[in-house]
């Protein structure tokens, strides 16, 4: 992914500074004592990651086991509806089956009868690269585990909140998407990569779902030492999309300040609010950026040292820091959906 960059827009870096003021507003409404059940310990994150950190190249038995594990786990969580977005596509090694996994939690409809369809999407890919012995712990077993923890905790919290108070002001639907076929089978090209996200973006653009997405947050390469996240705008994004993306990124930084001891704005340990990254990394967010969906791409720059090597195993994960990042995402999600 290092060689798949679009250069950033300088104007965005200039625009970032005034929006830092929004951080103070978000902090004022962020109660770090909010439902701490929506969190994850390093031990639990490791436990959730273990069944996923296996060789799971598309078309292999390991890939099918991981797909089935994800579906079964998600189906056991209260409130979530799970579906497969199954399709076939030609690849450099022949025609392959792909299965995007989509878990949907309706937040407001049950109590309010609202027909609103505003969506927040959290996403990661679950396939592994076609390399000998490669299990891809950071790429992307741990990111998938973060999504599993979201499923495990948020459904119960939403059920409790709906009995105690009216629905919050956030979105109407929370979705977890596990993309299939992110990795190239041979060399990375526009046609040999991002199979699942390209298919789903096209499908959702055609049926109107894409227009309902408030934001898509993509996690990738989580678990390395001292990750740094930057806002990376897509060159074709308009002012509305960039403004939305920057606000979300700043809110994530504010969440870090609220819940991670020792974080000190404006340049926190993880979220680098005063800098723009080296460019847009071509990843599963790209097909959605190209159809105008606001996205936040949580991928560290530089990439973990173990990227695309056999050393990308659970033994290489910095679990305390991975749990920090996971908890920032989980708590921000809870705030965003109105819990």
How many CA atoms lie within 13 Å of 202's alpha carbon, on the beta-carbon side?
8
Helices (H), the chain: 10-28, 42-49, 61-76, 109-112, 142-164, 195-207, 239-259, 286-289, 319-336
The continuous run of DSSP H or E covering 97 comes out as: strand 94-106
Q: Does residue 182 carry a catalytic annotation?
A: yes
Residue 4 vs residues 75, 173, 227, 260, 299: alpha-carbon distances, Å: 35, 32, 19, 32, 13
Q: Does residue 220 carry a catalytic annotation?
A: yes
Assigned token pair, 225: 């030492």
- Active-site residue, selected from the candidate residues 182, 283, 318, 324: 182
Using alpha carbons, select from 319, 254, 276 the residue that is nearest to residue 26.
254
As a whole number of angstroms, the distance between CA 187 and CA 69 comes to 29
How many CA atoms lie within 13 Å of 320's alpha carbon, on the beta-carbon side?
3
- Active-site residue, selected from the candidate residues 220, 245, 269, 283: 220
Q: Please answer whether residues 100 and 180 qualify as being in contact, where contact means their C-beta atoms are separated by less than 8 angstroms.
A: yes
Q: Please answer whether residues 179 and 124 qualify as being in contact, where contact means their C-beta atoms are separated by less than 8 angstroms.
A: yes
Using alpha carbons, select from 239, 235, 265 the residue that is nearest to residue 252.
265
Catalytic residues: 182, 220
């Amino acid at each position: 992914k290092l060689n798949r960059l679009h250069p950033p827009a300088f104007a965005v870096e200039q625009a970032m500074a005034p929006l830092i003021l929004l951080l103070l507003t978000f902090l004022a409404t962020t109660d770090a004592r909010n439902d701490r059940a929506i969190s994850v310990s390093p031990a639990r994150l490791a436990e959730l990651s273990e069944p996923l950190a296996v060789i799971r190249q598309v078309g292999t038995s390991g890939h099918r086991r991981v797909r089935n594990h994800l579906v079964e786990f998600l189906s056991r969580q209260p409130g979530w509806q799970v579906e497969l977005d199954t399709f076939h596509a030609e690849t450099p090694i022949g025609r392959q089956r792909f299965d995007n996994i989509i878990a949907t939690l309706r937040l407001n409809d049950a109590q309010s009868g609202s027909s609103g369809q505003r969506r927040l999407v959290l996403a990661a890919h679950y396939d592994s690269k076609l390399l000998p012995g490669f299990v891809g712990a950071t790429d992307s077993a741990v990111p998938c585990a973060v999504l599993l923890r979201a499923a495990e905790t948020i459904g119960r919290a939403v059920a409790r909140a709906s009995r105690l108070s009216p629905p919050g002001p956030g979105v109407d639907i929370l979705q977890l998407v596990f993309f299939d076929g992110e990795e190239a089978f041979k060399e990375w090209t526009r046609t040999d990569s991002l199979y699942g996200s390209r298919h789903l973006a096209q499908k959702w653009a055609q049926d109107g779902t894409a227009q309902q997405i408030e934001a898509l947050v993509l996690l990738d390469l989580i678990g390395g030492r001292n990750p740094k996240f930057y806002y990376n705008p897509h060159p074709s994004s308009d002012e509305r999309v960039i403004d939305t993306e920057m606000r979300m990124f700043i809110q994530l930084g504010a969440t870090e300040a609220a819940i991670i001891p020792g974080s000190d704005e404006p340049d926190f340990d993880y979220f680098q609010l005063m800098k723009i990254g080296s460019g847009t990394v071509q990843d599963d967010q790209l097909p959605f950026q190209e159809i105008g969906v606001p996205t936040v791409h949580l991928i560290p720059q530089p990439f973990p040292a173990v990227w695309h090597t056999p050393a990308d195993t659970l033994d290489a994960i910095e679990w305390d820091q991975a749990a920090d990042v996971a908890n920032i995402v989980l708590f921000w999600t809870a705030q965003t959906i109105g819990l």
